[in-house]
Amino acid sequence: MDRQRTDKNEETSAQGRPTLKTLAFMTGLGVTTVSRALKDAPEIGAETRRRVQLVAKQIGYRPNRAGVRLRTGRTNVISLVLNTDREIMSFVSDIIYGVSEVLAETPYHLIVTPYSRSQDPMEPIRYLVETGSADGVIISRTQPNDPRARYLLEHGMPFATHGRTDMGLVHPYHDFDNHAFAMEAVRRLASMGRRRLALLSPPPGLTYYSHTLNGFADALSEVGASEIPFNTVSIDNTIEQIRMRTAQVMRRDVRPDGFVSSAAAATLAIVAGIEDAGLKLGRDVDVVSKQSSDLLHLFRPELLVVNENFRLAGSELARSVLGWIGGAAPGSLQSLVVANGVQALNQPVPA
Amino acid sequence: MDRQRTDKNEETSAQGRPTLKTLAFMTGLGVTTVSRALKDAPEIGAETRRRVQLVAKQIGYRPNRAGVRLRTGRTNVISLVLNTDREIMSFVSDIIYGVSEVLAETPYHLIVTPYSRSQDPMEPIRYLVETGSADGVIISRTQPNDPRARYLLEHGMPFATHGRTDMGLVHPYHDFDNHAFAMEAVRRLASMGRRRLALLSPPPGLTYYSHTLNGFADALSEVGASEIPFNTVSIDNTIEQIRMRTAQVMRRDVRPDGFVSSAAAATLAIVAGIEDAGLKLGRDVDVVSKQSSDLLHLFRPELLVVNENFRLAGSELARSVLGWIGGAAPGSLQSLVVANGVQALNQPVPA
DNA sequence: TTGGCAATCTGTAACGTTTCAGTATATTGA
DNA sequence: TCAATATACTGAAACGTTACAGATTGCCAA
């Protein structure tokens, strides 16, 4: 079980895919010259360079990734590190699409490196660094003090985080402005006369948890509304837990007349809980929710939504990592996207 | 004899990750011996083998993928080929998780190879084969006569399809029994007294389109119900298109009193359309829908649902590809899942 | 003794790429 | 004129792995 080629002569131009040796044979040049000609090295004659590149294009030469990787250590791989059981569904595919879109025009491949509940989140990161399996890494579920970011920085591995850190270290990131989202959501609810607001927050521990909380609190004091505590659940809880908890709080004497929800799936549960308690959306209570695909308005037209574009996030993250690999300053590869305000019903939102 | 002088740069034990050479130096053996000892080759002494493996574990040796790949052509990569704009969201992430789960316990990596609307679906396939970028491939959106499957088969690249083909060629697949789903859906509607049924089908062209249609038709005649044509849209249409079309058909004199929907997102649109026409779910019409995550019941409790487990699909597909790579017969790597529970089987499904 | 054989182990040569240290040839400065 | 220098190219080595074709040893039959 081995390759069919056994002759050590270069004459074998017919089979297998072309290599530098093939190209060298066809052009009558040395492999070194061909290699350099293909990457526009300065010490190659213009004429020769053009000739080599022409032939390469003609026969469809593509550098062997294993060869390059073995020699240079460059993998041409970007790894997207995902939590296999925590990440919310649609989220992930959108990010993947966004990343793919950007990587498609480059020699880079996207590999998905999963880790599950049972594992240390650092494990895949260490694996990537130790084995040098990727040239760059994208991580999500970013924490204020994120050991992954610190580790990657220490080991000189380019990366970008979905969400910001707060460690005094500078690195590329892409983030959605959840502070602005929460403020906008509260303002909107206040403008509808809602005064007792509850927040279904992101999971504590992640950076955007406090962003959201702060935005919520800032806007509360701005508009003079009050908060109904709802912090025994987060969007990481199950649908059933959120639903039950919502129903509970809605049955109390002093109950929320407005909700801010950080995730679409969770919003379904909130609304179900509201209705479990015999109350009506739009009359007794209003809900502002983030969503990543434009479906919530079908669920209940009364819902107020803010769109978060995860596909864009994927693209930005990919661009950031590539930029860092390409030598750009990490500090110049940060982006923060602000939503275009709260949308009632289905008005398209370009981001 | 004396191997004290072989060290060219052996002394530099502090650098980089360990290679076979490192291991050879530490054990006092040759690299060949170490290589074979690690893979339990028969001509290595039991004592030596144990010793080598112990040391390898101690210093955390991991074979260099580029080296292996360059030498053997084996990539240890499985590629998941995805349509970047057509695939429905949650779908994809579930499959990825399923695949990851299986691959996690192997030396294999998952790489996502995208293609977009603008491209020929064959392009990524050809790329993978020509560059030998993967040892196995998973494709979805399978067609009865699928050029990708044929090409992969012709070129000896192991693969598995999500959905079956109908070309008389045998290859691994995983499929959800949509014929059974459609029949079950119709029976359920019929048992509720519904007699004029409409089907929101999968996109024509894909294999499970006809499976679904046939199941629908078979059950219709079984229960003596009739079909209201609804074939100007499929689940590949936009939410808005489906919604409008549903509203149209529901405003007619002879309108459906039951729907069968092949996708959850589309079901949202159907229900919206029904309500646009001033009708009420559960009273004027019932809807049976497939779903991949358990959310539809929150949307409208009256909805009837059948769960399709895409995570399972991902796992099965990964297992199939690995099995084929491992030398199993392609025909033994086919699975069809009905309702809840996988059946391994090799026989054709009711056409 | 001789030769044969099995059991272990080993060096060398690839795989395709890039880098290092050159080698020719022409061009220039004096 | 000679040497210095730039221009255009080249072979060899190396990255880490595995396959191939030996080595070396001990043992036993003849």
Could you tell me what percent of chain A has a pLDDT over 70? 91
Contact B81, B149 (CB under 8 A): no
pLDDT band at B26 (very low <50, low <70, confident <90, very high): very high
Contact A67, A99 (CB under 8 A): no
Residue of chain A with shortest Cα separation from B243: A298
Cβ separation A114–B130 shorter than 8 A: no
Could you tell me what percent of chain B has a pLDDT over 90? 82
pLDDT at A245 over 90: yes
Find all residues with CB under 8 Å of A248, minimum gap 6, and list them: A273
Which helix (H) or strand (E) is A108 found in, with range? none
Chain B interface includes A59 (CB < 8 A): no
State the pLDDT at residue B339. Answer: 72
Q: Which residues pair with B201 in a beta bridge?
A: B234
The interaxial angle of helices A122-131 and A147-154, nearest 10 deg, is: 10
Backbone angles phi, psi at B278, to 5 degrees: 80, 15
B341 CB burial (10 A radius; 0-12, 13-18, 19+): exposed
Cβ separation B84–A100 shorter than 8 A: yes
Sheet holding A304-307: strands in order across? Answer: A226-227, A196-200, A258-261, A286-291, A304-307, A343-344
Q: Write the DSSP assignment of A232-265 as a string of letters.
A: T-BTTS-HHHHHHHHHHHHTSSS--SEEEES-HH
Contact A265, A92 (CB under 8 A): no
State the pLDDT at residue A342. Answer: 61
State the pLDDT at residue B41. Answer: 85
Nearest to B325 by CA among B156, B145, B96: B156
Chain A interface includes B271 (CB < 8 A): yes
State the pLDDT at residue B341. Answer: 34
pLDDT band at A45 (very low <50, low <70, confident <90, very high): confident
Return the structure tokens found at B115.
Answer: 């293609």
Amino acid at position A55, single letter: V
Give mean pLDDT, residues B255-273: 96
Look-up: residue for tokens 């196995």?
Answer: B136
Cβ separation B92–A92 shorter than 8 A: yes
Which of A87, A272, A298 minimises the CB distance to B272? A298
State the pLDDT at residue B16. Answer: 80
Nearest to A226 by CA among A217, A235, A234: A217
State the pLDDT at residue A234. Answer: 96
**3-class DSSP assignment, residue B296:** helix
Residues of A in contact with B243 (CB under 8 A): 298
Query: Cα–Cα distance between A306 and A296 in angstroms, integer?
Result: 10
pLDDT at B4 over 80: no
**3-class DSSP assignment, residue B201:** strand
Residues of A in contact with B66 (CB under 8 A): 66, 69-70, 75
Q: What sign for the dihedral angle of Cα A197, A200, A205, A210?
A: negative
Nearest to A138 by CA among A304, A310, A11: A310
- Condensed to tens digits (0 to 9), the pLDDT of residues A258-299 reads 999 999 999 999 999 999 999 999 999 999 999 998 899 999
Find all residues with CB under 8 Å of B29, minimum gap 6, and list them: B23, B37, B48, B52
Amino acid at position A222, single letter: E
pLDDT band at B84 (very low <50, low <70, confident <90, very high): confident
Find all residues with CB under 8 Å of B8, minimum gap 6, and list them: none
Chain B interface includes A14 (CB < 8 A): no
B331 CB burial (10 A radius; 0-12, 13-18, 19+): exposed
Listed as own residue / partner, the contacts of A58-66 with beta carbons closer than 8 Å and 24 or more positions apart are A59/A18, A59/A22, A59/A23, A59/A26, A60/A17, A60/A18, A60/B130, A61/A18, A61/A19, A61/A22, A61/A23, A62/A17, A62/B130, A62/B131, A63/A38, A64/A19, A64/B70, A65/B69, A65/B131, A65/B133, A66/B66, A66/B69, A66/B70, A66/B75
Amino acid at position A66, single letter: A
pLDDT band at A70 (very low <50, low <70, confident <90, very high): very high
Give mean pLDDT, residues B59-67: 96
Return the structure tokens found at A84.
Answer: 């296999």
- Condensed to tens digits (0 to 9), the pLDDT of residues B189-227 reads 999 999 999 999 999 999 999 999 999 999 999 999 999
Nearest to A108 by CA among A264, A332, A325, A347: A325
Residues of A in contact with B239 (CB under 8 A): 294-295, 298
pLDDT at A82 over 70: yes
Q: Which residues pair with B162 in a beta bridge?
A: B174
Look-up: residue for tokens 């213009």?
Answer: A46
The model's pTM is 0.92
Strand D positions with any atom < 7 Å from protein CB?
Answer: 7-12, 14-21
Amino acid at position B246, single letter: T
Give mean pLDDT, residues A202-217: 97
